[in-house]
Amino acid sequence: MIILDPSKTYPTETESRVMIRFQDCDPLQHLNNSKYFDYYFNAREDQVAKLYNFSLLQLFREYNTSWVVYQHQIAYVRPAMVSEWIRIRSRLIYCNEDTLVTEYYMTDDGGKQLKNVLWMTSKYVSVLTGKRIPHSPEVMDFLNTICVRDVDFHNLSFNERIKQIKKAVE
């Protein structure tokens, strides 16, 4: 069960510090394009468990539901290099009755150089039927608690968002 502590303020952004591993890089020593997803998803899963006491396994078992990826938008701004320490930040920038948009971005360790931005759209589904369903009230309350409110998702293009993040970090 998802339990929110009403006396607690929950952060809307998660952050992890990670080193780029040799095994995840191409011959030019850049992080392989497909590996960005692994780094992002692992960081988000770890931080959501830590900050919100939430796990996808819990959702799966208790609610017979999960989110499935519907769409990705990704921009490779600068390469992440082998053995480089980087920062991964993620936040929920949109949610409605059955959809989430999670924004991920990667910077150098100092947080001053944008490397990558990803928007991942997910749909909420029943694991019993595989069909899209509305979020339960408890899940919706949780999502509304952690969702960033100052991103006008419907009136913002992905490329404009990249510019905003780049300006904020550089």
Mean pLDDT split into 10-residue runs, the chain, 170 residues: 85 97 97 97 95 90 95 98 98 98 98 98 97 96 95 96 95
- Sketch the domain layout of the chain as residue ranges: 14-169
In angstroms, the Cα distances linking 165 to 78, 82, 106, 154, 169 are: 14, 24, 10, 17, 6
Determine the pLDDT at residue 126.
Answer: 97
Both tokens of residue 80?
A: 């992440």
Helix and strand tally (H, E) in the chain?
Answer: 4, 5
In angstroms, the Cα distances linking 118 to 41, 58, 102, 132 are: 11, 25, 8, 23
Helices (H), 13-93: 35-52, 56-63
User: Model's pTM, two decimal places?
Assistant: 0.94
Determine the pLDDT at residue 118.
Answer: 98
Residue 59 and residue 135 in contact, taking contact as beta carbons nearer than 8 Å: no
Residue where the block lists tokens 């999502």 = 143
Determine the pLDDT at residue 129.
Answer: 96
- Could you give the 3-state DSSP secondary structure of residue 149? coil
Helices (H), 53-104: 56-63
For 14-169, CATH gives: 3.10.129.10
Determine the pLDDT at residue 74.
Answer: 98
Determine the pLDDT at residue 3.
Answer: 80
The CA-based angle 152-153-158, given to 5 degrees, is: 120
Determine the pLDDT at residue 113.
Answer: 97
